C-alpha cells in the first residue's frame, strides 16, 4: 500500500490549503491583539509594525471584562460539575439496568438537544420572569437561572457519551465487586467510575465549553450584573468606535484556556465518540 | 436517597452472557437474550426502583428546562400574547390558530418575511452541511495514515471547533470589515481582483460571508466524527483491497465510504439540525440583526419576538419550525432505514 508521488503531493497541497483556511483568522486574532489602536483602525497589515501589549491592559477598563469573566467562570464551572454528576447517575442506570422506559428515555433526551433553542427560549423567559414575580425566586437575570439552563444543554450528549464509556467496561468487574458485597452505588464509585475517568474528564470539559460559549440564552436571560463573556464582548463596539485590538486581546484570553483543555483531551473525545456514536 | 434504596435489585439486568460482547450491541438489545427470547424484557422477580432513582435528577431537569417550556410554548402559540399581556399572561385571550394563520400566510408581511428567511436558511443549511462534510471527510482521510506533523495538523484542525463561538465569529467580523479587514486587503490591495472595496456584512455578500464563517466553524466537527469512525475500520480491509490492486479512489469508494456509512448517517442529521437552528453565527457576525440576505430563521424569530413583544406569533413560528424539522428528520430516518434494509 505504498503512496504514489501524485498522492503524496495532492495530500500535501490539500492539507496546506485547509491549514491556511483555519490559520488565517487565528493569526489575525493574535497579531491584531498586539497592535496599537490606530493600526487596527487603519488599513489592514499582515505584520504588526509596532507591537504592544497595551490592548491587554486597556481591555479590562473599556468594558467590565473582569466581571464578565468571573460570571462566565462561575456559571460554566458550576453548570459543568452539576451536569456531569447528573449524567453519571443517569448513564449508569442506562448502561447497567434494563428497565421499562429505558429506550424512551434515551431517545427523548437526545432529541431535546436537536430542537431549536428559540422554541423554549420564549417560554423559559416568561416562566423565569413570572416565577420571579410570583414567588420571589430570581431565575431571570441571575446566574442561578443561567446555571440551571446550561446544565441541561450538555446533559444529553454527556449521558450518551458516558453510556458508551460505561458499556465498554466489562461487567465482570461489577459482578466481582458485588460478590464482595458492594451495593450498586459503591460499584459505581469504586469500580465503574475509576475505569471511566478519561470519559468523565472529557465530558466535564465538553459541559464547560458548552456553557462557556452559549450566546442565545445569555443574551436574553442576563442583565448587566449577571452578563457573561458571550454577550459582554460585544461591548467593545460602541456607537463611535470599535476597539478591535482589545476585542482580539479579550477573545484570545477567553479562548486559550478552553482550546488548550480541549486539545489536551481530544483523544478522549475521539474515544468517547467511537464508543458512543459508532454502533 | 441512596441509603433508603433496597439493595435488592443489584444484579437485575445483568447477565454473564452479556459481559463479553462489544459495547455497541449491549446498548441495543436486552442482555437477557440468553435465557429469554428477544423483545421486551420479561417481568423480573425483583423489579428495582433504583434505575429510576438514578435517572430522576436528569428527568426532572429535562422536564423543567426542555419539555415543560416546550409545552408552554405550544400553548403560547394559541394565545394573543402581545406586549399588553406579557406581564400577566393569564389574561391573554385564547385565539386558536390565528397566530399560525398570520405568520404562515405568505401574503401577509410577517408571512412573506418568514418565507424569505426560511428559503435563506434552507440554502444556507444545504451548502454549509455539504461543504463541511466534504472538508471534514477529506481531512480525516488524508490524516488517516501516520506522517510527520500529523498530530499538529489534527490539533490545528480541531481548534475552530474548540474556540468559543463568539470569539471565532467576532474575529471573522473583523476580517470582513470593508476598510480595515483582511479580506478586502487581500482581494483589492494585494491581488487586485476587484476595484471597489466590497461590503461583506451588508447586501448580497453577507450570505457568502455567513456561509464561510459557518463552514469554518462546522467542518472540524465533521472531521472529528469521521476521524473517530475511521478508527473502527480494520486495516485488513485496506490490505486486502491493496492486494487486489485498488488505488486511492477505489479504496475510498469500496472500503472507506461504505464503512463510514453509520457515522455519516448520524453526522449529517446532527449537522443539519444544528445548522438549521443556527443562531450564534449571524447574531455575532452582524452584531445582533442580520441583513435580509443572511437572516436565518432562528434569528428572525428571535428578532421579531423581542422587537414587537408578540410572543404569541413568535411561539407559533417556533412550533412551525419544530414541525418542519420533525418532518424532515422522520423522512430522513425512514429513507435511510429502508435503504439499509434493501442492502
pTM of the model: 0.86
Q: Which residue among A44, A151, A184 places its CB closest to the CB of B61? A: A151
Q: Above 50 in pLDDT, residue B20?
A: no
Number of A/B CB contacts below 8 angstroms equals 319
pLDDT tens digits for B187-212? 988 998 888 889 999 999 999 999 99
pLDDT at A155: 92
Q: Which residues in chain A touch residue B287, judged by CB atoms under 8 angstroms apart? A: 234, 237
pLDDT tens digits for B242-295? 888 888 888 888 899 998 998 899 899 989 999 999 999 999 999 888 899 999
CATH class of B109-342: mainly alpha
Average pLDDT over residues A173-201: 89
pLDDT at B15: 37
Q: Above 60 in pLDDT, residue B21?
A: no
- Whether A215 sits inside 8 A of B154 (CB atoms) is no
B47: phi then psi, degrees, rounded to nearest 5: -75, 135
Cell numbers at residue A202, please? 472529557
Contact (Cβ atoms closer than 8 angstroms) between residue B307 and residue B97: no
Distance CA B338, CA A254 (A): 46
Distance CA B316, CA B312 (A): 6
- Whether B165 sits inside 8 A of A213 (CB atoms) is yes
Distance CA A58, CA A95 (A): 51
Task: Supply the DSSP symbol for A52.
Answer: -
Contact (Cβ atoms closer than 8 angstroms) between residue A118 and residue A216: yes
Distance CA B157, CA B151 (A): 10
pLDDT at B9: 33
Q: Which residues in chain A touch residue B61, judged by CB atoms under 8 angstroms apart? A: 86, 148, 151-152, 155
Of the options 1.10.3720.10, 3.40.50.300, 3.30.2020.30, 1.10.510.10, the CATH number for the domain spanning A59-276: 1.10.3720.10
Helix axes A102-112 and A143-167, enclosed angle (nearest 10): 130
Contact (Cβ atoms closer than 8 angstroms) between residue A176 and residue B16: no
- Whether B170 sits inside 8 A of A149 (CB atoms) is no
Selection from B135, B158, B288, B139 nearest residue B212 by Cα: B135
A225 vs B127, which has greater pLDDT? B127
For residues A136-150, one letter each, b for 16 or more C-beta atoms within 10 angstroms of the residue's C-beta and e for the rest, the string is eeebbbbbebbbbbb
Q: Mutate which of B21, B32, B34, B51 to test chain A, going by most A C-beta atoms within 10 A?
A: B51
pLDDT at B90: 75
Q: Which residue among B73, B159, B171 places its CB closest to the CB of A259? A: B159
- Whether A277 sits inside 8 A of B263 (CB atoms) is yes
Distance CA A34, CA A40 (A): 10
Give residue for cell 492539507: A15
pLDDT tens digits for B49-89? 889 999 999 999 999 898 899 999 999 999 888 877 777 77
pLDDT at B342: 62
- Whether A92 sits inside 8 A of B182 (CB atoms) is no
Q: Is A215 helix (H, G, I), strand (E, B) or coil?
A: coil
- Whether B182 sits inside 8 A of A215 (CB atoms) is no
pLDDT at B43: 41
* % of chain B at pLDDT higher than 90: 51
Q: Which are the contacts of B158, defined by CB distance < 8 A and separation ≥ 6?
A: A262, A263, A266, B220, B223, B224
Q: Above 60 in pLDDT, residue B37?
A: no
Cell numbers at residue B199, please? 461590503
- Whether B322 sits inside 8 A of A115 (CB atoms) is yes
Maximum Cα–Cα distance for chain A, whole Å?
A: 73
Instruction: Give residue B24's pLDDT band: very low, low, confident or very high (50, 70, 90).
Output: very low
Q: Which residues in chain B touch residue A42, judged by CB atoms under 8 angstroms apart? A: 180
Q: Above 50 in pLDDT, residue A153?
A: yes
Contact (Cβ atoms closer than 8 angstroms) between residue B103 and residue B111: yes
pLDDT tens digits for A39-54? 998 889 999 999 999 9
Instruction: Give residue B22's pLDDT band: very low, low, confident or very high (50, 70, 90).
Output: very low
Instruction: Give residue B340's pLDDT band: very low, low, confident or very high (50, 70, 90).
Output: low
- Whether A114 sits inside 8 A of B329 (CB atoms) is yes
How many angstroms away from the CA of A262 is the closest CA of chain B?
6
The residue ranges of every structural domain in chain A are 59-276
How many angstroms away from the CA of B53 is the closest CA of chain A?
9
- Whether B157 sits inside 8 A of A18 (CB atoms) is yes
Chain B's closest residue to A94, CA to CA, is: B51
Instruction: Give residue B47's pLDDT band: very low, low, confident or very high (50, 70, 90).
Output: low
Q: Above 90 in pLDDT, residue A2?
A: no
- Whether A230 sits inside 8 A of B73 (CB atoms) is no
Average pLDDT over residues B319-337: 92
How many angstroms away from the CA of A120 is the closest CA of chain B?
5
Q: Which of A241-245, B117-121, B202-206 has the highest mean pLDDT?
A: B117-121
pLDDT tens digits for A63-88? 999 999 999 999 999 999 999 999 99
Task: Supply the DSSP symbol for A169.
Answer: S
Least confident of B26-30, B127-131, B227-231, B326-330: B26-30
Q: Which residues in chain A touch residue B216, judged by CB atoms under 8 angstroms apart? A: 21-22, 25
Selection from A144, A143, A163 nearest residue A203 by Cα: A163
Chain B's closest residue to A92, CA to CA, is: B54
Distance CA A158, CA A276 (A): 10
Q: Above 90 in pLDDT, residue B318?
A: yes
Sign of CA dihedral B299, B300, B303, B309: negative
Cell numbers at residue A23, please? 490559520
As beta bridge partners, residue A237 has A242
Contact (Cβ atoms closer than 8 angstroms) between residue B286 and residue B294: yes
Distance CA A129, CA B17 (A): 53
Q: Above 80 in pLDDT, residue A223?
A: yes
Cell numbers at residue A78, please? 458550576
- Whether B28 sits inside 8 A of A279 (CB atoms) is yes
pLDDT at B132: 97
Q: Which residues in chain A touch residue B158, judged by CB atoms under 8 angstroms apart? A: 262-263, 266
pLDDT at A268: 83
Q: Which of A92-106, A109-123, B67-81, B124-138 has the highest mean pLDDT?
A: B124-138
Q: Which residues in chain A touch residue B311, judged by CB atoms under 8 angstroms apart? A: 122, 126
- Whether B225 sits inside 8 A of A96 (CB atoms) is no
B237 vs B212, which has greater pLDDT? B212
Q: Above 90 in pLDDT, residue A15?
A: yes
As beta bridge partners, residue B79 has B94
Distance CA B192, CA A230 (A): 37
pLDDT at B185: 92
Cell numbers at residue B52, please? 429510576
- Whether B27 sits inside 8 A of A167 (CB atoms) is yes
- Whether A25 sits inside 8 A of B280 (CB atoms) is no
Give residue for cell 447477565: B15
A191 vs A275, which has greater pLDDT? A191
How many angstroms away from the CA of A35 is the closest CA of chain B?
13
- Whether B319 sits inside 8 A of A93 (CB atoms) is no
Chain A's closest residue to B273, CA to CA, is: A114
B328: phi then psi, degrees, rounded to nearest 5: -65, -45
Q: Above 60 in pLDDT, residue B329?
A: yes
How many angstroms away from the CA of A207 is the closest CA of chain B?
12
Chain B's closest residue to A267, CA to CA, is: B228
Region of A183 (left: φ > 0; alpha: ψ -120 to 50; beta: rest) is beta
Chain A's closest residue to B278, CA to CA, is: A116
Contact (Cβ atoms closer than 8 angstroms) between residue A33 and residue A25: no
Chain A's closest residue to B260, CA to CA, is: A278
Q: Mutate which of B9, B27, B32, B242 to test chain A, going by most A C-beta atoms within 10 A?
A: B27
DSSP H or E run through A209: helix A197-213
How many angstroms away from the CA of A217 is the closest CA of chain B?
10
Instruction: Give residue A147's pLDDT band: very low, low, confident or very high (50, 70, 90).
Output: very high
Mean pLDDT over each residue of chain B, to the nearest integer: 83
Amino acid at each position: 500500500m505504498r503512496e504514489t508521488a501524485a498522492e503524496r503531493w495532492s495530500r500535501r497541497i490539500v492539507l496546506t490549503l485547509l491549514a491556511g483556511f483555519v490559520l488565517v483568522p487565528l493569526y489575525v486574532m493574535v497579531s491584531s491583539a498586539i497592535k496599537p489602536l490606530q493600526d487596527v483602525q487603519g488599513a489592514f497589515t499582515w505584520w504588526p509594525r509596532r507591537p504592544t501589549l497595551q490592548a491587554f491592559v486597556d481591555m479590562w477598563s473599556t468594558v467590565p471584562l473582569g466581571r464578565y469573566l468571573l460570571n462566565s467562570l462561575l456559571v460554566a464551572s458550576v453548570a459543568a460539575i452539576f451536569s456531569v454528576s447528573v449524567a453519571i447517575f443517569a448513564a449508569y442506570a442506562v448502561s447497567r439496568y434494563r428497565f421499562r422506559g429505558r429506550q424512551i428515555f434515551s431517545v427523548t433526551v437526545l432529541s431535546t438537544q436537536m430542537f431549536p433553542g428559540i422554541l423554549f427560549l420564549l417560554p423559559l423567559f416568561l416562566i423565569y420572569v413570572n416565577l420571579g414575580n410570583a414567588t420571589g425566586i430570581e431565575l431571570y437575570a441571575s446566574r442561578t437561572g443561567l446555571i440551571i439552563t446550561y446544565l441541561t444543554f450538555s446533559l444529553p450528549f454527556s449521558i450518551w457519551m458516558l453510556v458508551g464509556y460505561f458499556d465498554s467496561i466489562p461487567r465482570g468487574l461489577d459482578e466481582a465487586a458485588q460478590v464482595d458485597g458492594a451495593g450498586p452505588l459503591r460499584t459505581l464509585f469504586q469500580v465503574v467510575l475509576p475505569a471511566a475517568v478519561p470519559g468523565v474528564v472529557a465530558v466535564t470539559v465538553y459541559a464547560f465549553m458548552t456553557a462557556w460559549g452559549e450566546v442565545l440564552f445569555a443574551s436574553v436571560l442576563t442583565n448587566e450584573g449577571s452578563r457573561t463573556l458571550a454577550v459582554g464582548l460585544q461591548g467593545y463596539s460602541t456607537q463611535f468606535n470599535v476597539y478591535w485590538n482589545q476585542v482580539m486581546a479579550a477573545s484570545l484570553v477567553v479562548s486559550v484556556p478552553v482550546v488548550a483543555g480541549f486539545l489536551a483531551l481530544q483523544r478522549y473525545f475521539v474515544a468517547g465518540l467511537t464508543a458512543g456514536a459508532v454502533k | 436517597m441512596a441509603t433508603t434504596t433496597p439493595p435488592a435489585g443489584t444484579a437485575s439486568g445483568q447477565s454473564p452472557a452479556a459481559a463479553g460482547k462489544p459495547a455497541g450491541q449491549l446498548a441495543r438489545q436486552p442482555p437477557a437474550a440468553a435465557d429469554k427470547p428477544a423483545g421486551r424484557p420479561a417481568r423480573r422477580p425483583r423489579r428495582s426502583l433504583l434505575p429510576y432513582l438514578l435517572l430522576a435528577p436528569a428527568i426532572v431537569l429535562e422536564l423543567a428546562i426542555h419539555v415543560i417550556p416546550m409545552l408552554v410554548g405550544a400553548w403560547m402559540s394559541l394565545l394573543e400574547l402581545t406586549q399588553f399581556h406579557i406581564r400577566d399572561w393569564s389574561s391573554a385571550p385564547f385565539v386558536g390558530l390565528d397566530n399560525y394563520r398570520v405568520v404562515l400566510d405568505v401574503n401577509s408581511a410577517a408571512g412573506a418575511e418568514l418565507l424569505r428567511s426560511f428559503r435563506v436558511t434552507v440554502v444556507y443549511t444545504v451548502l454549509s452541511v455539504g461543504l463541511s462534510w466534504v472538508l471534514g471527510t477529506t481531512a480525516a482521510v488524508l490524516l488517516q495514515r501516520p506522517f510527520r506533523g500529523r498530530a499538529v495538523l489534527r490539533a490545528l484542525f480541531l481548534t475552530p471547533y474548540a474556540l468559543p463561538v463568539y470569539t471565532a465569529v467576532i474575529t471573522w467580523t473583523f476580517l470582513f470589515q470593508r476598510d480595515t479587514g483582511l479580506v478586502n486587503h487581500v482581494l483589492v490591495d494585494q491581488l487586485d481582483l476587484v476595484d471597489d472595496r466590497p461590503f461583506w456584512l451588508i447586501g448580497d455578500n453577507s450570505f457568502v460571508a455567513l456561509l464561510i464563517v459557518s463552514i469554518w466553524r462546522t467542518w472540524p466537527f465533521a472531521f472529528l466524527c469521521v476521524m473517530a469512525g475511521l478508527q473502527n475500520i480494520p486495516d485488513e480491509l485496506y490490505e486486502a483491497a491493496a492486494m487486489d490492486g485498488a488505488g486511492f479512489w477505489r479504496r475510498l469508494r469500496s472500503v472507506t465510504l461504505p464503512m463510514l456509512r453509520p457515522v455519516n448517517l448520524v453526522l449529517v442529521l446532527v449537522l443539519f439540525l444544528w445548522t438549521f437552528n443556527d443562531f450564534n453565527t449571524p447574531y455575532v457576525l452582524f452584531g445582533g440583526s442580520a441583513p435580509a440576505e443572511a437572516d436565518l430563521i432562528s434569528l428572525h424569530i428571535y428578532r421579531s419576538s423581542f422587537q414587537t413583544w408578540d410572543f404569541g406569533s413568535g411561539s407559533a413560528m417556533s412550533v412551525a419550525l419544530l414541525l418542519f424539522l420533525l418532518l424532515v428528520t422522520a423522512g430522513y430516518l425512514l429513507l435511510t432505514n429502508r435503504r439499509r434494509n434493501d442492502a
